[in-house]
Copies of this chain bind each other. A is one copy, B any other.
Amino acid sequence: MEKALLLYSGGLDTSVMVRWIKEKMNMDVVTLTLDIGNSDLEEIKEKALKLGAIDAITLDVKKEFADNYISREIHANGLYGEYPLSTALARPLMAEKAVSVANENDIKFIAHGSTGKGNDQVRFEVSINALDNNIKVIAPVREWNMTRADELEYAKMNNIYVKSDGKYSVDENIWGRSIEGSSIENINEPVNDDAFEWVTPPQYCGSGEPVSIEFYKGLPSSLNGKSMDLLSIIKNLNIIAGRNGIGIINMIESRLIGLKSHEVYECPAASVILKAHKYLENLILNKNELSVKNYIDNFWSNMVYNGLWFDPSMEHMNQFEKSSNQYITGSVNLRLYRGNMILEGIESPYSLYDYNTINYETGVFDQGSSKGFIDIYKNETVRSNRVKKALTVIH
């Protein structure tokens, strides 16, 4: 019998899928569960087997996620609006692992649990086929047209035990937690506090905490004076920043399939790291570098949001980003206080800030040059106004 590799989270949709693929498509199901956040791999594995999977593979890929994916995003100040792309960033890693497991096990079909209305279906399918175009992708949710109630009914009928998923549709990994659905779809109302699990909403926070982050070549290398690998810094910052109200993002978003949606995110570590990294760049890179990097950063972020992580253009941009992060070394002190990240100090051996030049009292800058500068600088604007006004008078 043909086999399908199912990206299995343990939730309602993919649990129903184990049975559904077997029944409707007449295929054996191998599940693949990846720990990118805090999944209980053992429990999920057991459940998969109980549901009838012929094999249940699990992998802890948190470190790979930090080192190969998140690190590149930090270099590129990856943001789609204010959203640090947490879910978008994990999809290509999941595709990468799925293709690799499928190839090792000679499986030709990969199934995922995304709907036909969202971005993730696109991210999965482009990524999987970019890595191996011989693999066929199966997206049952897109085809079965069951509502949530239908699914629950189907689960009951098939003895599929599912812990209640909660009212929201949630995706989470170490880089952030995405929340959508339910009352969040009523955009003329506030978001309920019960949507949040990682971040203490500002009104319930305590008296704040300072954090100090050191960067080496564009990546965090120590937190509050202690050297740690990136994964550990992220884990720690999720807790520290989370309890200080940092990282709630509330977006009206334009999905790549042409729908507007309302999405809420909790990205405490990501928010702090990206903020600190950007402060360092502003200190170390000159205006030309910042200008071109801003364009690349944006393009990079859009590509990731749009599911194009494995496009060849990404490698070209990653080379650019690596080069421009060569000197992003230094430390940033931020006070985290009820949703605010307050700069309390920044320094770098490569800082372009020059106290002696800028200081109003003792400055060594030759102000006389400014006159010549302005005389030339104004040419474009002054001349074009003069010419056009002269003619307007005559005409």
> Residues of A with Cβ closer than 8 Å to B?
81, 115-117, 121-122, 125-126, 129-131, 133, 139, 141-143, 145, 147-149, 169, 181, 185-191, 202-203, 207-208, 245, 248, 250-254, 257-262, 279, 282-283, 285-293, 295-296, 299, 303, 308, 310-313, 315-317, 319-320, 322-324, 327, 335, 337-340, 342-347, 349-355, 357-363, 365-388, 391
Contacts and interface: CB of A to CB of B under 8 A. Distances in A.
B130 A352 contact: no
A368 B324 CA distance: 36
A319 B289 CA distance: 13
Given A149-B361, A323-B319, A370-B372, A345 B190 contact: yes
A292 B317 contact: yes
A117 B367 contact: yes
A250 B343 contact: yes
10 contacts: A121-B374, A130-B381, A181-B360, A187-B283, A203-B208, A251-B282, A260-B351, A310-B385, A311-B385, A339-B340
A338 to B, nearest CB: 5
A134 to B, nearest CB: 10
B353 A262 contact: yes
Contacts of A324: 313, 316
A154 B288 CA distance: 41
Nearest to A302: B291
A371 B139 contact: yes
A61 to B, nearest CB: 21
Copies per complex of this chain: 4
Contact of A383 (B203, B279, B286, B349): B286
B368 A372 contact: yes
B379 A312 contact: no
A257 B376 contact: yes
A381 B308 contact: yes
A125 B186 CA distance: 32
Given A115-B367, A372-B368, A312 B353 contact: no
B286 A189 contact: no
Given A187-B353, A391-B349, A377 B122 contact: yes
B252 A279 contact: yes
3 A-B pairs closest in CB distance: A372-B372, A116-B367, A258-B379
Contacts of A343: 190-191, 250
Nearest to A260: B353
